[in-house]
Amino acid sequence: MGISYDHSGEQAAEDPIRLLAIRDTPLSVDEVFAAVGDAAAGGTALFVGTVRDHDGGADVDGLGYSSHPTAEAELRRIAEGVVAKFPVRALAAVHRVGELRVGDLAVVVAVACAHRGEAFEACRKLIDDLKSEVPIWKHQTFSDGTEEWVGS
């Protein structure tokens, strides 16, 4: 396997997909940011999704995420699609499963590109496709005792 070059003639990373995971342990912004470090990247966009204290006008006590066994493979497919569409130098995405509390990190994604505009666009595509296509479901519990499944 040799080193590849992008359309501008600059050396490209072997595999720009540096980190993909679905975990039942707390997530780290620092880990994801470090994973996309690239000396040729002039822009890095990072998105952090946290558990908020409300949804649809109701107070949220907590939530649980569960995933299908194919979720990580779907995450890879989405990441490969982003890399194919944008000039990505490095990409990382992690999503948490299990029981989370208000304020916990639920998802962290980052994309590094040569320029900031490309990084913003690629990061938005990554998180939007992750949320709409990766089989991860959210079970919310509300302070009034009600609950709901989202994404199922």
User: Where are the chain's structural domains?
Assistant: 19-150
Per-residue pLDDT reduced to its tens digit, 41-84:
999 999 999 999 999 889 999 899 999 999 999 999 999 999 99
Per the CB < 8 A criterion, the answer to whether 29 and 94 are in contact is: no
Structure tokens at 90: 């490095």
Q: What is the pTM of this model?
A: 0.88
Q: Report CA 19 to chain centroid distance, whole Å.
A: 10
* Whole-number Cα distances in Å, 141 to 7, 71, 131, 137, 146: 49, 23, 20, 13, 6
Dist. CA 61–CA 150, nearest whole Å: 15
Q: Which CATH superfamily is domain 19-150 in?
A: Molybdopterin biosynthesis MoaE subunit (3.90.1170.40)
If one counts every other C-beta atom within 10 angstroms of the C-beta of residue 11, the result is: 10
Res. 24 pLDDT band, cuts 50 70 90: very high
